[in-house]
């Protein structure tokens, strides 16, 4: 089935979800659209969707192998992957190892300061409200997640952080921070929390461990240039370049 004949379920800023081939599945399509500052800044970056599809596939597969359950089933083509349908928990879960971005701004701290321990923050996923930061009290009071789910989210996020920090360190990249999302997978009347969405240079801060060069979406947010080149560098270091150079030069859109 082509994307055109599939029913669109949801369109976000960087991805589209289509109905999957079987019940309980969806197709996640990675767009080239880049947005920042709650979509006030927009651009199309040729090839970004292709790279993020590959990087997210790589990371989710590795996480699955170490027992961090997630929605990824398999990659279908350059821009699409088959995923499990979940009920998204409306939280952006941010984990930080080094001060950067909104944390630097909020607390007046210099970017690059190592945190004494990893810090997890919750933001309410709501564009109209510009994703406000919330506490666990808000999360439970407004029934976005229950205490058991929060405990699972915290434990899984720390595991993801430990694993990804090591994986990136091995290829000379510091994992400064990242954002992940979770969803509920229903099995009868019970549900469990699994990792959803994507993990890519769009959702992580990745700094070259030696030079400090940014290899992530901050290059777009801060007009630093070489966005695709930096994402490609991340893919290259992870050893997953595959067919990507052709894609970037040829501007393949499928
Ligand atoms: O902007 P801030 O410093 O809070 O971002 C923390 C981390 O979460 C960064 O890696 C950023 O790329 C990611 N993030 C995201 N989507 C958002 C907000 C932040 O992927 N809506």
Sorted by sequence, the CB contacts under 8 Å of residue 93 that are 6+ apart come out as 120, 121, 122, 123, 153, 157, 179, 180, 181, 182
Neighbours of 210 (CB within 10 A): 9
Q: Copy the structure tokens of residue 35.
A: 């947005």
Q: Please report the atom of ligand 1 found closest to the CA of residue 100.
A: 3
pLDDT tens-digit series, residues 41-86: 999 999 999 999 999 999 999 999 999 999 999 999 999 999 999 9
Give pLDDT, residue 249: 45
Q: Please report the atom of ligand 1 found closest to the CA of residue 105.
A: 3
Nearest to 112 by CA among 128, 96, 100: 100
Give pLDDT, residue 241: 81
Give pLDDT, residue 5: 78
Give pLDDT, residue 254: 40
pLDDT tens-digit series, residues 96-116: 999 999 999 999 999 999 999
Answer yes or no: is the C-beta of 90 below 6 A from any ligand 1 atom: no
Answer yes or no: is the C-beta of 122 below 6 A from any ligand 1 atom: no
Pick 2 or 156 by higher pLDDT. Answer: 156
- State the chain's mean pLDDT as an integer: 94
Q: Please report the atom of ligand 1 found closest to the CA of residue 205.
A: 10
Answer yes or no: is the C-beta of 85 below 6 A from any ligand 1 atom: no
Q: Tell which one of 101, 115, 201 to mutate to probe ligand 1, the residue whose CB is within 8 A of the most ligand atoms.
A: 101
Q: Vertex 241, ends 19 and 60: CA angle to 5°?
A: 45
Full set of structural domains in the chain with CATH: 3-86+226-253 (3.30.200.20), 87-208 (3.30.470.20)
Q: Please report the atom of ligand 1 found closest to the CA of residue 179.
A: 8
Question: Whole-angstrom Cα distance, residue 207 to residue 114?
Answer: 13
């Amino acid at each position: 089935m082509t994307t055109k004949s599939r029913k669109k379920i949801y369109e976000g800023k960087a991805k589209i979800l289509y109905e999957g081939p079987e019940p309980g599945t969806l197709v996640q399509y990675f767009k080239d659209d880049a947005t920042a500052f709650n979509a006030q800044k927009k651009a199309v970056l040729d090839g970004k969707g292709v790279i993020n599809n590959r990087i997210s596939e790589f990371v989710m597969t590795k996480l699955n192998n170490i027992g961090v359950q997630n929605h990824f089933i398999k990659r279908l083509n350059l821009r699409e992957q088959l995923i499990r349908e979940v009920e998204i928990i409306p939280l952006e879960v941010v984990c930080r190892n080094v001060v950067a971005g909104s944390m630097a701004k909020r607390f007046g701290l210099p970017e690059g300061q190592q945190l004494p321990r990893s810090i997890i923050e919750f933001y309410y996923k709501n564009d109209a409200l510009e994703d406000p930061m919330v506490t666990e009290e808000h999360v439970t009071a407004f029934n976005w997640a229950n205490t058991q789910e929060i405990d699972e989210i915290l434990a899984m996020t720390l595991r993801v952080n430990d694993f990804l920090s090591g994986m990136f360190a091995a290829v000379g990249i510091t994992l400064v921070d990242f954002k992940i999302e979770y969803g509920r997978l229903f099995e009868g009347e019970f549900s469990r929390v699994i990792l959803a969405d994507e993990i890519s240079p769009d959702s992580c801060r990745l700094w070259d461990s030696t030079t400090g060069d940014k290899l992530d979406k901050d290059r777009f947010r801060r007009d630093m240039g070489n966005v695709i080149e930096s994402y490609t560098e991340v893919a290259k270091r992870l050893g997953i370049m595959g067919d990507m150079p052709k894609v970037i030069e040829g501007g393949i859109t499928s």
